[in-house]
């Protein structure tokens, strides 16, 4: 029996494949890790061939990360349980919609002392009118600790090896070094913080704001308006964490998972792009997702819906007018032209002005 740490990547989309490049190299070179990394791949036929076979022979995920070679020690496995059963570290990186089913399948089939880390941006609806964090769902169902990794990390740029930063929100500081070693590279710099919930919430909420930024681009309103939407979005993110995850730290918003990821997503990224096309073409979000994303999934509109489900239940929609308007536009309850009217009287503008007295 090897005492090396075995790693499985659960997911093989755009981000899963990009992170496999870094994790694969680290596992091949760092002595504490088992060289072979399994990667669960949702099986699809591409030009008559199985995607797993293509990945294992050409070492390229031709559908989700074309043009990039994956390290040869990353092995594609089409069966979820086979991929995960021997892993000490499970890296979850699938669109958040699939997580509840994945957990049901894996229950009792993984090592009891395994640990998880989620790279997934999004929430799930909780019974009773709230939302669940994906890391909490993983911990509750699989009974293992789950940290998170979020940051200004557009997958294609990470795959190209361009310099960037990321944030790990660690559940237990005893895993901090191992997790940092697993992900850090010369051009992918990791900061570990102990504020895991706030890191994860930032990663999910920024996709809602990016959808709003895309609407602004589609309306042709320009950079000042987009900056206002980004800033009001940030303030709603801060308020959301303050209300629902009290005890979180404001400093977390200054890590890569906070303002940096928000800006990246509002300028690059698929949520912004599809939202712009939504305004310009008049097509539905679902039609554009199919047409523009080649099997990739949008996170902004479903996250806006999940957040609205909770805000509505708690009577808090008017405290989060930007999040609320974006959800209503995505679901055709509101015209996109009404976006600015919804945020003109934002609580940020209406609260009592604070006059700062100069200190003597
Ligand atoms: N792409 C990025 O730049 C990026 C960066 C950071 C975080 N993320 C987050 O990472 C997560 C994964 O995103 P991604 O970009 O790797 O995925 P993706 O949207 O590129 O790909 C979709 C994935 O879902 C799989 N899939 C499709 N139907 C399925 C089914 N019925 N059951 C199971 N799997 C199915 C596909 O095989 C594919 O691997 C998301 O939460 C996303 O927000 C993405």
Architecture per CATH, domain 3-193, reads as 3-Layer(aba) Sandwich (3.40)
Q: Which residues are catalytic?
A: 206
Q: Does 186 appear as a known binding residue?
A: no
pLDDT tens digit sequence for 306-332: 999 999 999 999 999 999 999 999 999
Convert the pLDDT of each residue in 97-141 to its tens digit: 899 999 999 999 999 999 999 999 999 999 888 999 999 999 999
Entry pTM: 0.95
Residues with C-beta less than 6 Å from any ligand 1 atom: 11-16, 42, 64, 93-96, 98, 119-122, 153-155, 295-297, 299
Q: Tokens standing for 293?
A: 């994303």
- Of all protein residues, the one whose alpha carbon is nearest to atom 29 of ligand 1 is 42
Q: Is 14 annotated as a binding residue?
A: yes
The enclosing H or E element of 232 equals: helix 223-244
135-169 burial string, b = 16+ CB within 10 Å, else e?
Answer: bbbbbeebebbbbbbbbbbbbebbbeeeebbbbbb
Return the closest-CA partner of residue 124 out of 154, 95, 152: 95
Pocket test for ligand 1, best of 15, 61, 268, 273 (most atoms within 8 A of CB): 15
Distance CA 295, CA 65 (A): 12
pLDDT digits 0-9 by tens, 9-60: 999 999 999 999 999 999 999 999 999 999 999 999 999 999 999 999 999 9
Query: What are the boundaries of each domain within the chain?
Result: 3-193, 196-347
CATH topology classification for 196-347: 1.10.1040
């Amino acid at each position: 029996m090897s005492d090396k740490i075995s790693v499985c990547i659960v997911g093989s989309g755009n981000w899963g494949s990009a992170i496999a490049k870094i994790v694969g190299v680290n596992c091949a070179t760092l002595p504490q890790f088992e060289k072979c990394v399994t990667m669960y791949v949702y099986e699809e036929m591409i030009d008559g061939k199985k995607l797993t076979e293509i990945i294992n022979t050409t070492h390229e995920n031709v559908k989700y990360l074309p043009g990039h070679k994956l390290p040869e020690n990353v092995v594609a496995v089409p069966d979820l349980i086979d991929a995960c059963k021997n892993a000490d570290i499970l890296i979850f990186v699938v669109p958040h919609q699939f997580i509840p089913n994945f957990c049901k399948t894996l229950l009792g089939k993984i090592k009891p002392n395994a640990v998880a880390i989620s790279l997934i941006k999004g929430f799930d609806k909780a019974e009773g009118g709230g939302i669940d964090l994906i890391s909490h769902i993983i911990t509750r169902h699989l009974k293992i600790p789950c940290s998170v990794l979020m940051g200004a990390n557009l997958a294609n740029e990470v795959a190209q090896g361009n310099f960037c930063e990321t944030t790990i929100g660690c559940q237990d500081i005893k895993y901090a070094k191992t997790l940092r070693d697993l992900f850090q590279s010369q051009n992918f710099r990791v900061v570990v913080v102990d504020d895991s919930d706030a890191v994860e919430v930032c990663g999910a909420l920024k996709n809602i704001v990016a959808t709003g930024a895309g609407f602004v681009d589609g309306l042709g309103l320009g950079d000042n308006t987009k900056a206002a939407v980004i800033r009001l979005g940030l303030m709603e993110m801060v308020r959301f964490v303050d209300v629902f995850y009290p005890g979180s730290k404001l400093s977390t918003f200054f890590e890569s998972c906070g303002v940096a990821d928000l800006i990246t997503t509002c300028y690059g990224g698929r949520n912004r792009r599809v939202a712009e096309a939504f305004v310009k073409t008049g097509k539905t979000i679902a039609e554009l997702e199919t047409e523009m994303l080649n099997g990739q999934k949008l996170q902004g509109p479903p996250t806006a819906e999940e957040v609205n489900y909770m805000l509505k239940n708690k009577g808090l929609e008017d405290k989060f007018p930007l999040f609320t308007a974006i959800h209503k536009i995505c679901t055709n309850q509101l015209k996109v032209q009404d976006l600015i009217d919804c945020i003109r009287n934002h609580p940020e503008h209406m609260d009592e002005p604070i006059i700062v007295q100069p200190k003597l």
